[in-house]
């Protein structure tokens, strides 16, 4: 039974624990270990997560039978346009509807706020692209983002109209 809870700074250790269980496996075949380590520090250090929360990013954790199995974060980036910044689910939970449950929950939260679309970025080599397409996301464009230290995120920007 899935349950969603809003995450506060008190849950940063849980978010980090989930990240370190999911991230390396997700990106090992796509990115170098050095880039993975760099990005984990840049985006998932305690101070970075705290800043994201204080900058208005909403984090949620999904529990399955009272155990945390995934998380997501999202925020409004323009009037009526929201961005799914992060969604990660334990490998053991993938294919069980957990990711869809998280996205459906986010949509249920942002629609009443006037959202007309939900956007996300996904690495162009990430198999999750097909998951997003099944949920109705379409590719808007390809984009390369310089994240420093000589590294780039080579992504698709995708969007689901609401």
With 0-12 CB in 10 A as exposed, 13-18 as middle and 19+ as buried, what is 147?
middle
Q: What pLDDT score does 89 carry?
A: 95
Per-chain mean pLDDT for the chain: 95
Q: What is the pTM (predicted TM-score) of this model?
A: 0.94
pLDDT band at 26 (very low <50, low <70, confident <90, very high): confident
The arithmetic mean of pLDDT across residues 134-156, rounded, is 95
Q: Superfamily for 2-161?
A: Gcn5-related N-acetyltransferase (GNAT) (3.40.630.30)
Which residues lie below 8 Å from residue 95, measured CB to CB, with a gap of 6+? none
Whole-angstrom CA distances from 2 to 24, 70, 150 are 24, 10, 40
Q: For residues 11 and 18, give the distance between their C-alpha atoms in angstroms, rounded to a whole number.
A: 11
**pLDDT at 99 exceeding the cut of 90:** yes
């Amino acid at each position: 039974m899935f349950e969603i809870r809003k995450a506060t700074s008190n849950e940063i250790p849980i978010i980090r624990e989930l990240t370190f269980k999911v991230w390396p496996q997700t990106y090992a075949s796509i990115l170098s270990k050095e880039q993975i380590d760099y990005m984990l520090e840049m985006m998932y250090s305690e101070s970075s997560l705290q800043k994201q929360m204080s900058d208005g990013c909403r984090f949620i954790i999904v529990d399955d039978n009272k155990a945390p199995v995934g998380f997501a974060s999202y925020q409004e980036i323009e009037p009526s346009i929201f961005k799914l910044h992060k969604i990660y689910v334990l490998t053991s939970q993938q294919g069980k509807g957990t990711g869809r449950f998280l996205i459906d929950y986010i949509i249920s939260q942002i629609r009443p706020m006037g959202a007309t679309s939900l956007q996300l970025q996904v690495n162009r080599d990430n198999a999750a692209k097909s998951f997003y397409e099944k949920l109705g996301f379409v590719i808007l464009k390809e984009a390369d983002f310089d994240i420093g230290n000589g590294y780039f995120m080579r992504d698709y920007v995708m969007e689901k109209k609401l």
